[in-house]
Amino acid sequence: MPFSKLGLSDPLLRAIADAGYTTPSPIQLQAIPAVLNGHDLLAAAQTGTGKTAGFALPILHRLSQHSYGANRPIRVLILTPTRELAAQVGESVSKYGAHLHPRLKTEVVFGGVKINPQMMRLRGGVDVLVATPGRLLDLVNQNAVKLDKVETLVLDEADRMLDMGFIRDIRKLIALLPKKRQNLLFSATFSEDIRKLTTGLLVNPIKIEVAARNTAAETVEQIAYLCNKANKAELLCHLIKTNDWQQVLVFTSTKHGANRLTEKLNKINIKAAAIHGNKSQGARTSALSGFKAGEIRVLVATDVAARGIDIALLPHVVNYELPRSPADYVHRIGRTGRAGEEG
Ligand code: AMP
């Protein structure tokens, strides 16, 4: 089924064409009509499935259907676990809404950067706010945002938000929203905690499950190298050099490990950068954009920092240290071999 049959308005179809999408992904096929009809949604879907467009497009459609007052209250609130994901979702929403008239305003707020500029940007009114829970609560406490006109709440990567200890913040934020609203929840896994959260939150949700990616894409070739711990860094350098890998995402289990490996690589002139929770937001953003642009050859990341990162056509992923769970492993290597590409 083509996008044009899903009930989206022309400006949105134009943005879809601009993005180069020709056919809706499975989650989009199910989510778009459901969200357009105002249903609550419970979706099992990970990054890489097209879930962002799955909620952003119908939300934008609904928003643009009715006008707003001069003071532009926040009508859509999207909560995400990490700064990177918040930024990425914000970019997507702006991109998909590019042809809408009047233009809708989207802002992104997250912790780790100064709060004042964010307060300034919110002052003129915002239609769609993408936020990490902790910073949003800070902004609420400083009276910089009001959430009493929110029509749609999206919890993106809800499982990871709970893993990161955001449950209390999320509950506090939900308590500030109007009782009557649309709720969309996306999660890769469904633990007991997620179930508890959904029970009070979702009203007769439409349940969507796209092929659970519990296995890696078949287009990803996986190779294991047996090696002493002491020789690991050397082996990695050797593989990068002899195979002439130009873009490699390397996972470590700790922030220190990420820093140490990054130093070693840089010492032998393999340009590397680390991203993890201790890095400033500026450092993380510039590492990521340098990596995407091909200026940084190796990005060394911890699982949390890498969550949700979307890099088109990433060819190589290295598990330098073992992930904590099979799900994390699938997540890690799922950064490559996207959309039928080889990895
Ligand atoms: P997401 O799962 O939302 O992080 O999206 C993963 C990637 O798929 C992003 O780079 C999107 O731009 C891309 N994408 C989303 N929908 C489609 C589609 N229908 N066709 C092709 N690519 C898509």
The residue extents of the domains of the chain are 3-209, 229-340
Q: Summarize the confidence of residues 68-79 as an average pLDDT.
A: 88
pTM of the model: 0.70
Residue-level pLDDT at 336: 78
- Gap between the Cα atoms of 2 and 5, Å rounded: 6
Is 68 close to ligand 1, i.e. is its CB under 6 Å away? no
| Nearest residue to 96 (alpha-carbon basis) of 176, 8, 187 | 8
CA–centroid distance, residue 51 to ligand 1 (Å)? 7
User: Ligand 1, from 5, 22, 52, 314: best to mutate by most atoms within 8 Å of Cβ?
Assistant: 52
Q: Which two tokens stand for residue 144?
A: 């910089």
Is 91 close to ligand 1, i.e. is its CB under 6 Å away? no
Among protein residues, the one with the nearest Cα to ligand 1's atom 19 is 24
Q: For the chain, what percent of residues have pLDDT higher than 70?
A: 94
Confidence of residue 252 (pLDDT cuts 50, 70, 90): very high
Q: Which fold has domain 3-209?
A: Rossmann fold (3.40.50)
Ligand 1 atom closest to the Cα of residue 92 is: 12
Q: At what angle do helices 26-36 and 51-65 cross, to 10 degrees?
A: 20
Q: Which fold has domain 229-340?
A: Rossmann fold (3.40.50)
CA–centroid distance, residue 13 to ligand 1 (Å)? 15
Ligand 1 atom closest to the Cα of residue 23 is: 19
Is 51 close to ligand 1, i.e. is its CB under 6 Å away? yes
Give the model confidence (pLDDT) of 178-236 as tens digits.
Answer: 999 999 999 987 888 898 999 989 999 999 987 654 455 667 788 999 999 899 999 99
- Gap between the Cα atoms of 148 and 69, Å rounded: 14
What average pLDDT does the chain have? 90
Q: Summarize the confidence of residues 284-299 as an average pLDDT.
A: 90
CA–centroid distance, residue 53 to ligand 1 (Å)? 7
User: Exposed, middle or buried, 289 (CB in 10 Å: 0-12/13-18/19+)?
Assistant: exposed
Of 325 and 65, more confident:
65
Inter-residue contact 251 to 321 (CB < 8 Å): yes
DSSP string, 245-260: -SSEEEE-SSHHHHHH
Among protein residues, the one with the nearest Cα to ligand 1's atom 21 is 21
Q: Summarize the confidence of residues 127-147 as an average pLDDT.
A: 97
CATH topology match: 3-209 vs 229-340: yes
Among protein residues, the one with the nearest Cα to ligand 1's atom 1 is 50
Highest-confidence segment of 6-15, 43-52, 273-282 = 6-15
Of 144 and 219, more confident:
144
Confidence of residue 309 (pLDDT cuts 50, 70, 90): low
Inter-residue contact 98 to 18 (CB < 8 Å): yes
